[in-house]
Amino acid sequence: MEYGGRLFARRYALDVQITSVVGIPMWRAMDQVLRRWVCLYLLPVSDARSETFREAALSISRISDRNVVTVIDVIDGSTLEGMPNVSATENFLGVVVEWVEGQSLDQRLLLSQELIDPSQALALTTSIARTLEQVHGQGLHHARLRAHNIVFGDSQEIRVTGFGVESAILGADNADGEIADIRGLGNLLFCMVTGTWPHGSQDNLPAAGFAGNDLVPSMVTSGISSSIDAIYQQTQNGGLATMRDVISALSVGIVETIDEKSTSLSRLTTHSVTWHGASESKSHRLRATTIAMVCVLIFGWTGWQLLTRNSSTKDVPVAIVLDPLPAITAFPSPSEGPSMATVVAATDYDPFGDQTENPDKTKLAIDGDLTTSWPTVNYQQSNMAGKPGVGLLLDLGTSQEVSSVTITFSAQGNSASIFVGDSPTPDTAAATPFGSVESADTKITISSDKAVSGRYVLVWLTHVPQAANGSWQGGISEVEVGL
C-alpha cells in the first residue's frame, strides 16, 4: 500500500497529520478511488465527542455554496490499517472534508508581515458576508469565525472553513448563530486592517493590546477610516441585526473609504506646486506652468494608482508585529565577515509534524563540509502539505550576541526565516524573526544592524524547492553564526 500502508476504510491513504484546532486528529489523505487529496478527521467511535461531531458534520454536508469548504462524506465506523498501537478491530468515525490549496488569513498576515489595505479588507469582508448570508438562508451558521477559517485559494477565491464542526466541539460564540457570525465578521475586518485580534490572542495573532467595548481598529493602527471603525462597532453592539444589514454597511464603507482617499489625493495635488519670483518672461512662465501641470497630473495619477490598486501581500509595507523588525539584508556571503560562534549541537525541529525530521543527519549542517547536508523529508508540495514550517535548531552553548547568519542550502529555492532566542522550543508564529529570505540562492547571509542575544538559532524553512525526483525537499549544507 502507498503512504506507509496507513489506510482508513480501505480507501483513504493517510499522508501527513495536520494541526487540528478542534483537538481531533486530522490528516491529509489520498482518496484512492477518485485520486484526489482530502482532509480526513479520525475519531474513535468510543470517544464521547463522536456523536456530536458526527451530527455537526452531517448538518454542514448539506451546504451547497461553492465558497464553503464542506463535508464530502461521513463514515460512521470503519477500521484503520497500518497504524502502530492502533487495534485492527477498533472502529473510527471518519469525516471527509475538501482539501483546499491556499493560505489562511492568519498565515497570510503572519508570513507576509503586512496588513491588508482597508479598501480591499472591506471588499474581502463583503465577499465573506455574502457567503454567510447564503448559508444562513439554509438555516445554518458558523458561530465561531476565526482568522484560520478564511482561506485564500491558489486562484485567489475566498473559502470559509469550519462550519458547524468547530462550534459543536469548542462551543459557539453566541447561542444566536446570526449574532455570532455578525460579530465574527466584524472581528475578521478588525484583524485584516490591524493584524491583531480584538478579543485576546487567536491563531498566533497578537491581541489588540487592550480590551473594552470602545476598542476600534484606528486605536491599533493609523490610517484607518472612521467608516471602518463604525462598521466594527456596529457588528459588536447589535447595530447591525442581519447579515443583509452588514453587507449594506460594508458597501457604504467602501464608497466612503474611496472618498476619503480621493480627498487626500486632492489635497496632495492642490498643494504640490508653489511659485516664486516675478522676473521671468511670459513665455518662460507659460512653459514652466505647462511642465508643472504635467508633473501634477503624472504624480496625481501615480498616487491614485497606489491608493486604489488591488493589494497583494507586497502592497502595504506595514508590519503587524508590535515591535519593528531589525534592519536586514540578504546577499551573497562576503569573503571576510565577523567572528563565528561555535555551534555545539544541531537538532531537527518539527512541532507541526511527527516531531522528527531526519534527526540523524542534522550534524551534517555544521560539519564544515559543503558536500554533506541535512535534508528535510520528501513532501508532495512546496509548502510541506500546509505545515507552517520545519527547522534546524542550532545550540550555541550559551547566550551570545548574534549579528549574522550565513546559510548554504543544498539547492536554490528555499524560503526561510531565522529566529534567535533563549528557548529550545521557539514560537515561530509569535516571535519576531531575525530575518527572512524568499526563494533564496544557494548561499546567503542575513545580517542585522543590531545584534540579537540568544543561545539558540533556528533556521525555519517555510517553503522548499522541487527535487529531481519530482517531490519537494529542502536541505542545509552548512550554517555559520556570526557574532
Residues 339 and 318 in one domain: no
Domain boundary among 289, 307, 322: 322
Task: Tell which residue, 60, 67, 167, 85, has the closest CA to residue 124.
Answer: 67
Distance from C-alpha of 460 to C-alpha of 453, rounded to nearest angstrom: 18
The grid coordinates listed for 102 are: 491556499
Query: Which pLDDT does position 254 carry in this prediction?
Result: 84
Q: CATH no. for residue 460?
A: 2.60.120.260
Residues 314 and 198 in one domain: yes
Residues 257 and 110 in one domain: yes
Query: Which pLDDT does position 322 carry in this prediction?
Result: 31
Query: Which pLDDT does position 292 carry in this prediction?
Result: 46
Query: Which pLDDT does position 87 carry in this prediction?
Result: 87
Domain residue limits at 68: 3-99
Contact 79, 92 (CB under 8 A): yes
Would you give per-residue pLDDT tens digits along the chain (483 residues)? 445 588 999 999 999 888 788 889 999 999 999 999 999 999 999 999 999 999 999 999 989 888 999 899 999 989 999 888 888 889 999 999 999 888 999 999 998 889 999 999 999 999 999 999 999 999 999 999 999 999 998 666 899 999 988 999 999 999 999 999 999 999 999 999 999 999 888 888 888 876 556 789 999 998 899 999 999 999 999 999 999 999 999 988 887 776 665 554 444 444 443 333 334 444 444 444 444 444 444 444 444 444 444 443 333 333 333 333 333 333 333 334 458 899 999 999 998 888 889 999 999 999 888 889 999 999 888 888 778 899 999 999 899 999 999 999 999 889 999 999 999 999 888 888 898 888 888 888 888 778 899 999 999 999 999 887 788 899 999 999 999
Helix locations, 195-281, DSSP H: 226-237, 243-270
Distance from C-alpha of 88 to C-alpha of 117, rounded to nearest angstrom: 52
Residues 241 and 306 in one domain: yes
Domain count, the chain: 3
Residues 173 and 229 in one domain: yes
Residues 359 and 314 in one domain: no
Burial of 79 from C-beta contacts in 10 A (0-12 / 13-18 / 19+): middle
Query: Which pLDDT does position 260 carry in this prediction?
Result: 63
pTM: 0.56
Q: CATH no. for residue 43?
A: 3.30.200.20
Chain position carrying cell 486604489: 308
Query: Which pLDDT does position 19 carry in this prediction?
Result: 79
Task: Tell which residue, 111, 125, 236, has the closest CA to residue 191.
Answer: 125
Query: Which pLDDT does position 450 carry in this prediction?
Result: 83
Residues 175 and 295 in one domain: yes
Residues 72 and 9 in one domain: yes
Q: What is the DSSP string of 116-169?
A: PPHHHHHHHHHHHHHHHHHHHTTT-------GGGEEEETTS-EEE--TTHHHHH
Task: Tell which residue, 49, 52, 54, 47, has the closest CA to residue 76.
Answer: 54
Burial of 160 from C-beta contacts in 10 A (0-12 / 13-18 / 19+): buried
Query: Which pLDDT does position 338 carry in this prediction?
Result: 57
Contact 113, 322 (CB under 8 A): no
Query: Which pLDDT does position 212 carry in this prediction?
Result: 56
Distance from C-alpha of 151 to C-alpha of 204, rounded to nearest angstrom: 16
SS3 417: strand
Residues 84 and 156 in one domain: no
Domain boundary among 60, 80, 99: 99
Residues 346 and 370 in one domain: yes
At residue 200, what are phi and psi to the nearest 5 degrees? 90, 170
Element at 58 (helix H, strand E)? helix 50-60
Q: Between 177-194 and 118-136, two packed helices, what is the crossing angle to 10 degrees?
A: 160
Residues 74 and 166 in one domain: no
Residues 299 and 377 in one domain: no
Q: CATH no. for residue 177?
A: 1.10.510.10
Domain boundary among 99, 134, 165: 99
**How many alpha carbons lie under 13 Å from residue 356 in its C-beta half-sphere?**
4
